[in-house]
Structures are given as C-alpha cells and as structure tokens.
Amino acid sequence: SAPALGYRWWGVHGVGAWRNGEPIHVSTVSRLEDAFLSSDSYTSFSQRSTGEGAAFDGLVRRVARSRGFGDFWSHMLVAEGAIDVAVEPEVTLWDLAASSVIVEAAGGRFTNLAGEPGPDGGSVIATNGLLHDAVVESLRGSQ
C-alpha cells in the first residue's frame, strides 16, 4: 500500500494482480533496446564492486530509458506495465516478499541478480518476463 498516493496493490499466484481493484499486467516490450529500466540508484552497483558497476552500466546503455524510482515503487511499476525492468543489488526479504507475488501474478518474473527465483536472494531483478533472461545475462559479469 502507498497511502500518500492512494494506491493499494495485491496479487494471487495463478489468478492475477490488481491496483485499487483494477486488473494490472506487465508490459509486452520484448527488446532491451526498447525497455524502460529503474534502479534504486545508478551508483548502487558500482559502490558494491567495479564488476557490478561495469555490468550495470552496460545494461543501462542498452535500454531505451532509465530512472531511479527504487524499492517497492519500481516493482509495482513493473507489475502495472509502466516500466519493464527493475533491478536492485542489495535488498532484504521484507522489502520484496509482497512485491514478488504481485509482479509474478501480473505476469512478470522476479529473481535475484543470478536469476534464482524468489524474494530472498539479497538482490532483485523484476521484469515483464520477456526481458528477464537478457537482463540476467547482461548482469552476469557482476557475479
């Protein structure tokens, strides 16, 4: 829930996802070159390691547009189809538990940077599903 915005999201695996009672679904963008990416901050990857910074920089250079919305907000934007990819190099389970269900119920994928499913991997890639493997591969140099 984001009370200041007047929004509440929810999802049920295999059933669907909603915002304020209206169904939501991830985007249909299928090429990184057309994608909109969000991260908590541009520098968060390079602060962890030079390799992660270089890999993230390469990803940012491939996508059509990038912004830093961060945390739950970027994941809900993926679920709604407003953006196509959200990545964060360092997060905790309580930051992602609800978001993972909503993104997946909306038709997306939710993994850590290594591509392992679930919200408890310490990092996150949330996508529309169509772009997921390309994002994981792009960031593979940081592993």
The pLDDT value recorded for residue 142 is 43
Give the pLDDT confidence score for residue 8 in this predicted structure: 97
d(CA 13, CA 15): 6
pTM here is 0.92
pLDDT string in tens for the chain (143-residue length): 999 999 999 999 999 999 999 999 999 999 999 999 999 877 777 777 667 888 899 999 999 999 988 779 999 999 999 999 999 998 989 889 999 999 999 999 999 999 999 889 889 999 999 999 999 999 985 44
Task: Identify the CA nearest to 56 among candidates 83, 87, 85.
Answer: 87
